[in-house]
Structure 1
């Protein structure tokens, strides 16, 4: 057993200060359901007053788990994922857990980070998975309560929280079609992303529902977090012949690349081309005439996901099949222009 650091407060000292058994202190701090809420609160206040720090490794050796929840994201270069991290952190803090954050944008890094989270005996994991996680990653996650967020991959947790990706792009594309646009360019995620496939389906469905041939549309698909892809795709669309009259995007990073490409080309929206973006970055409201965009309740989605997982961790319930899908709203500003009919 490792020696106790000089001056470190022990569970026995906390117990003696309250006149209760050491086992009561341990169970109260571990949120054991056998201990009443009143006793738990009493022990927690005493522990905080005395400066007691729980011996997490020892508790885990006795069969307990940590108070850590892992969050695995592919990217944090836009406010979309940053909002998720902030909301999830607040959710965990409020429930007595601590968030451990991981950026795992490719399958190899994802496997390594999943292994590290497992070695830390996290209580649960929220993951935005890569399109095709390694078999080792799937096996690791099989042994931990986990929830999929935004993307959905077969073979991982049956619980998923996301947005209605197909309806999202259908809504934005239908708006452009209603304004008279037929030659529309779409830049979005590749089909091996569950979100990419659904958003492309929504883009195409808007044409079908309007009784239009989608042959006049141009589709550019690739890695959505790659700014280089977004920039190249935007440049190609702006040079298309015959020219397109509108662009809609299916990723936040791609939206930024399109706006930069427009600025470099000297074109403006909606005078030269109409634009509907994806996500609602703070800068989008004051870009040019204001960006018409597809906004999602990401903060609420992340909190719902975190609360759902924590409820199951507290109750010991299994992670059963569950799907929660948030609606998107079209934020109308100036970039999509007026009716062309």
Structure 2
């Protein structure tokens, strides 16, 4: 393995000068830095990160802790963050928790032990108390979800307003029996989305019995399938359904595709998120579009600025992004409102 001593002997420089040149020390001339870097590249030199960390330096790694990489929200976030961090000389390390707080804790222990420069985390519903303590020693920011124990920095979506808009779209079309399939209320996102759904019903002066609510794991496609099956099997099945996560949306669409249910003739559907396939599913899915890419970029830029200027600054920071209703063919007034009136004889 090539060392700084080997580079120093080749260039007839001291080992300390080579080390400082590689670290971009301002005391070393640009000409010397260029010579050292050129020699290092030619000789195949690789920096010893472990040695640097033993001297108290942080790594150039930023951890991304997410529930499920199969969710296109999180894969998009990972992609955008990775590009953003790479341009700043950092590397993204992905950790998947499957919404298990003990798995989350193990990943945070590893990131702390490896002296990660920072962490972007989509937390579980009830993070372990040790997770909160570990994050106190690492610059970090919460994304999409938030938990009070993990600090006051958060980039998220206006979940309340997103679900209120989605539900109001059906209310305004005349639906009086509306189903909601979403995540559990113990998650901050789940609670806010459920609150937005109920607020729209109240705003539309619909009674509580107008709601049909199915809550479960937000990352479970199977929960989406089973929930819509149960809703449509009811004697007074909903004429419209609002969805509260992208994976649940996928599950519902898969289930509807394999049945004889016709959308929107038999039931109207408002999805969550806007994957490429949603625009051509059936009649085209009416859904709530979310600025995930822009939010991921903003989150990455904010964390980079903090790492480079004030890594110990815990000043509260919140960024809330709006959603937008994308109307396609999967929603229409309920069937009884579409029937033509009988002519008088």
Does the TM-score normalized on the shorter chain lie above 0.5? yes
Which of 269, 281, 286 is equivalent to 2:280? 286
* Alpha-carbon distance change, 50 to 133 in structure 1, aligned in 2, over 3 angstroms: same
- Range with bigger deviation, 226-235 or 127-136: 226-235
1:246 corresponds to:
240
* Structure 2 counterparts to residues 82-231 of structure 1, below 5 A: 82-105=75-98, 106-231=100-225
The answer to whether structure 1 residue 273 and structure 2 residue 260 are counterparts is no
| Equivalence for 2:332 | 337
> Quick check: 256-265 or 198-207, which moved more?
256-265
Go from structure 1 to structure 2 and tell me whether the alpha carbon gap of 1:168 and 1:27 turns closer, same or farther (over 3 Å shift). Answer: farther
Decide which moves more: 12-21 or 173-182.
12-21
The 1:21–1:330 alpha-carbon spacing in structure 2 relative to 1, beyond 3 Å, is farther
Secondary structure at the residue paired with 2:288? strand
Alignment partner of 1:55 out of 48, 54, 64 = 48
Structure 1, 132-141 or 271-280: larger mean CA deviation: 132-141
1:233 aligns with 2:235: no
| Structure 1 residues 159 and 14: alpha-carbon distance in aligned structure 2, compared to 1, 3 A threshold | farther
Instruction: Name the counterpart of 1:306.
Output: 300
Q: Secondary structure of 1:204's partner?
A: helix
1: distance between equivalents of 2:135 and 2:31?
Answer: 34
The structure 1 residue matched to 2:67, chosen from 74, 86, 99, is 74
Deviation sequence 1:229-266 (CA, Å, 0-9, x none): 22221111111221211101001111011112212331
Deviations 1:72-102 (A, max 9, x none): 1100112111101111111111110001101
For the residues of structure 1 that align with 2:243 and 2:18, how far apart are their CA atoms?
54
State which of 316, 320, 324 in structure 1 corresponds to 2:319.
Answer: 324
Displacement of 1:31 in angstroms is 6.2
Which has the higher mean CA deviation after the structures are superposed, 221-230 or 91-100? 221-230
Report SS of the residue matched to 2:298: helix
Partner of 2:341: none
Residue by residue, what CA displacement relative to the aligned partner does 1:2-40 show, whole Å, maximum 9, x if unpaired?
xxx2xx1x33555677887654654565566x5699689
The answer on whether the counterparts of 2:22 and 2:33 sit within 8 Å (CA) in structure 1 is no
Distance 1:265 1:122, change over 3 A: same
Range with greater deviation from structure 2 (90-99 or 260-269): 260-269
Greater Rg, structure 1 or structure 2?
2
2:342 maps to what in 1?
A: none
Where structure 1 has 5 or more consecutive residues not aligned to the other structure, the ranges are none
Please give the secondary structure, in 1, of the residue aligned with 2:150. Answer: coil
> For 1:188-229, what per-residue CA distance to the aligned partner results, in whole angstroms no more than 9, with x for missing partners?
010101000000111111122223324211111111112232
TM-score (norm 2): 0.89
1:64 maps onto 2:90 in alignment: no
CA distance in structure 1 between the partners assigned to 2:186 and 2:156 by the alignment: 17
Answer yes or no: is the 8 Å Cα contact 1:312–1:319 preserved in 2: no
The SS at the match of 1:126 is strand
Give yes or no for contact 2:273–2:289 (8 Å, CA) kept in 1.
Answer: yes
- For residues 117 and 296 of structure 1, the distance between their equivalents in structure 2, rounded to whole angstroms, comes to 29
Report the Cα offset of residue 48 of structure 1.
3.9
